Amino acid sequence: MDEYRKQVEENIVESYRQDEDMMILVFAQWCVNEGLDPEELYMQAYPQQQGNERLKRVLELTVPKEEAGPIPDETVLGVLSLFGNEDLAFAVSEAIAGRDKRK
């Protein structure tokens, strides 16, 4: 029973990690689509976290804006909020506001 429970817990943790990587990818691709540097925006939200390795790894999966589908602002904000990244969602909101002012 303990081995089964351990395996279930490991599967849950791995599933969450994969979901979290997808959230990071949505954020990073949105930044690329908007002409923003994902690492710079991340550092605005979390200045105490130097060099986020997961973000760097996921950045390799982004594609040029021309190859990507659109990611609505509401989608990236919703995904960030779902994972409790309120500070990053705030930084994204500020980037959106700045973009909208320039239009």
Asked if residues 28 and 59 have their Cβ atoms less than 8 Å apart, the reply is: yes
Please give the single-letter amino acid code of residue 65. Answer: K
Quickly tell me which residue has 């909208």 as its tokens. 100
Q: What are phi and psi of 4, to 5 degrees?
A: -65, -45
Tokens of 3: 């081995």
Q: Is the pTM of this model over 0.75?
A: yes
CA distance 43 to 47: 5
pLDDT digits (tens, 9 = 90+) for 70-98: 999 999 999 999 999 999 999 999 999 99
pLDDT in tens, 47-64: 988 778 999 999 999 999
What's residue 44's pLDDT? 93
